[in-house]
Amino acid sequence: MIVLGIETSCDETAAAIIQDGEILSSVVSTHWLHNSYGGVVPELASRAHLVLLPPILDQAIDESGISLEAIDAVAVTRGPGLIGALLVGIAAAKAIAFARNIPVIGVNHLEGHLWSAVFESSDLKPPFLALLVSGGHTMLVDVEEFGKYRIIGQTRDDAAGEAFDKVAVLCGLGYPGGAQIEKRARTGDSAYYEFPIGMHGQRGYDFSFSGLKTAVATFLRKNPEAKHDHLADLLCCFQEAAVASLIEPTCRALRQSNYQALVISGGVAANLRLRQRLGEEAERVGVRFLYPGLQLCTDNAIMIAWVGWKRLLKGQKDGLEMSGEANFPLPGILK
């Protein structure tokens, strides 16, 4: 079965084609135009999707080596995300589905991230514990099976990626800043300063990043020269605290349950320091540690096409009345 995936939930316009779970093509275009604004400007994102999506769809079809006529279904991100941005992808998906008389499937963006490691580890089988860390979400999900999820912990304030992005803006690095911070932190001294670890010593599996973000802002206000004289050290210490804020609740969950595997996903899962530290902890607890390839951590349409394909195999699809949902909860949430 050949599925076309479309992703336009935020600031990446993406299209991909998969055949029976194998990737035929994938095209992603990131909107760097938000860089100077310090965050995504929703109206600019919608307009960029409008301009970029048609040529990206053409390119995905060209590179896949199949024709538009060979596609069996269209999967598209339905939410969560920026509503104007979502609607551009959904309108395109519906137009193709209507013209070709094939099914359209609205996919939850977070569910796409949850399964994105399957392309790196084809033997990925539930149940597993998933740490989803992106620019908009930070959560621990107990994945019982495809379509059955239990959120056991989530951030009480900022998402992890949001904290990276805000600190990057504070340091004059522009948006999005996660990858920039990681690059600069490599040469930094982790003993330079101790930033607070969110939810340190608490119980449960929730996360918190606003205290850490405020601590960096306060430090910079008191030590403005650090931005120039000790940027690498400052970013290294921030990254260590951010990684520790993700690791503590995750390890509590791993120790208190009988998970066989820990899977990370989302843009922040591209962070090599996070991967290294989580890998060490997983080994200590005796749990398999899995993660997506770097291109599949940040937003892409492969993960959307894959979830759409799985839903189709289960006989699930949507009608042309399907619309975008800015706050679209994960499907199949268990209490």
64 touches, from Zn ion, ligand KG4, none (C-beta below 5 to 8 Å by class): none
Tokens coding 154 = 């989530």
Question: What would the two tokens of residue 152 be?
Answer: 């056991």
Stretch that binds ligand KG4, among 61-69, 87-95, 133-141, 219-227 (CB under 6 A): 133-141
When the beta carbons of 68 and 179 are compared against ligand KG4, the nearer one is 179
The closest alpha carbon to 1, from 317, 305, 326, belongs to 305
Q: Which is nearer to ligand KG4, 84 or 177 (CB)?
A: 177
- Is residue 301 a contact partner of residue 6, using CB atoms and an 8 Å limit? yes
- Given phi > 0 = left and psi -120 to 50 = alpha, else beta, which region is 131? beta
Per the document, the length of the chain is 335
Name the nearest CA neighbour of 292 among 29, 59, 112: 112
Among 266, 292, 308, 324, contact with ligand KG4 (rule: CB under 6 A): 266
**Nearer residue to Zn ion within complex by CB, 134 or 271:** 134
Between 138 and 171, CB nearer to Zn ion: 138
Candidates 20-28, 52-60, 130-138, 150-158: pick the segment binding ligand KG4 (CB under 6 A). 130-138
Interaction between residue 177 and ligand KG4 (CB under 6 A): yes
Residue type, 15: A
- CB-side exposure of 177: number of CA atoms within 13 Å? 25
What's the sign of the alpha-carbon dihedral 49, 56, 310, 317?
A: positive
103 binds ligand KG4 (CB under 6 A): no
Contact status: 328 vs ligand KG4 (CB under 6 A): no
Chain residues binding Zn ion by CB under 5 A are 134, 299
Choice between 132 and 197, CB closer to Zn ion: 132
Strand partners, 106: 76
195 binds ligand KG4 (CB under 6 A): no
CA of residue 101 relative to chain centroid, distance: 31
Query: Are 104 and 308 contacting, i.e. CB atoms less than 8 angstroms apart?
Result: no
C-alpha distances out from residue 146 to 143, 175, 297, Å: 7, 34, 19
Could you list the beta-strand ranges (E) of 186-274: 261-265
Q: Does 298 bind ligand KG4 (CB under 6 A)?
A: yes
Closer to Zn ion at the Cβ: 134 or 239?
134
Q: Does 89 bind ligand KG4 (CB under 6 A)?
A: no
Q: How far is the CB of 133 from ligand KG4 (least distance, A)?
A: 8
Please, what is the minimum distance in Å from the beta carbon of residue 72 to ligand KG4?
A: 27
The partner in contact with residue 268, picked from ligand KG4, Zn ion, none with C-beta cut-offs of 5 to 8 angstroms by kind, is ligand KG4
Residue 179 contact partner, candidates Zn ion, ligand KG4, none, CB within 5 to 8 A by sort of partner: ligand KG4
Size of the site for ligand KG4 (CB under 6 A): 19
The Cα–Cα gap between 182 and 30 comes to 19
Footprint on this chain of ligand KG4 (rule: CB under 6 A): 10, 134-136, 161, 164-165, 176-179, 182, 266-268, 270-271, 298-299
